[in-house]
A and B are shown apart, each in its own frame.
Chain A
Amino acid sequence: NAGVMQNPRHLVRRRGQEARLRCSPMKGHSHVYWYRQLPEEGLKFMVYLQKENIIDESGMPKERFSAEFPKEGPSILRIQQVVRGDSAAYFCASSSTGDTDTQYFGPGTRLTVL
């Protein structure tokens, strides 16, 4: 039973480039969450999505960041025109329901912006 999958595991981008992070939820899960973890800090909620819908993006920076969860395929977190401050670990989690429910995390994508 595959868990939450994320790719790539490591991503290096130069300032101004675009970063695309992918997340495939656990089988049977239709709720996806993205978190960002800065070095030596806890995880910060970014966005919550269901298939084809953004439910809550209150934790997303207003510019350059976007997320989607299409009907087919993985959820995508997209960061345009990356800056050094975007360097972090980005984790995706999924759950079977949208209320208080156990969220299962993927291994994360570590983004480094040069």
Chain B
Amino acid sequence: QQQVKQSPQSLIVQKGGISIINCAYENTAFDYFPWYQQFPGKGPALLIAIRPDVSEKKEGRFTISFNKSAKQFSLHIMDSQPGDSATYFCAAPLCSGTYKYIFGTGTRLKVLA
């Protein structure tokens, strides 16, 4: 089965620092890459997403970098804040134009005050 491999499993960052979470995928047909943020006891919420026709997308302090040749994409959180402490999941559709998402195993981020 196709996989999305996410790392690191957990991450501790000082307030104001940069948090970087990486994902690698296998299926070259993937064409939509969302990142979800999940707080304890809550459902995942869409944070930011990118399509592979661009190499980078930025929304506020959150940036997705996409490397199509390496089949990798990453989430960068600039000026990390304690309120960013959550679990982050990358995801990709199983194949082009599909509804079936494959999720990474998640990264638990803790930002120290």
Contacts and interface: CB of A to CB of B under 8 A. Distances in A.
Interface of A: 4, 6, 31, 33, 35, 40-45, 48, 55-56, 58-59, 91, 95, 98-108
A91 B43 contact: yes
Given A41-B106, A42-B105, A98 B99 contact: yes
A105 B44 contact: yes
Interface string B86-105: 00010001001111111111
Residue from A35, A43, A58, A108 with most neighbouring chain B CB atoms (10 Å): A43
Interface string B37-64: 0000111111001000000000000000
Interface size class of B (residues with CB under 8 A): 20 to 34
Q: Is chain B's interface secondary structure helix, strand, loop, or mixed overall?
A: loop
A100 B32 contact: yes
B98 A99 contact: yes
Interface of B: 6, 31-32, 34, 36, 41-46, 49, 89, 93, 96-106
26 contacts: A4-B43, A6-B43, A40-B106, A41-B105, A41-B106, A42-B105, A42-B106, A43-B44, A43-B103, A44-B103, A45-B102, A48-B99, A48-B100, A56-B99, A59-B100, A99-B97, A99-B98, A100-B31, A100-B32, A102-B46, A103-B46, A103-B99, A105-B44, A106-B43, A107-B41, A107-B43
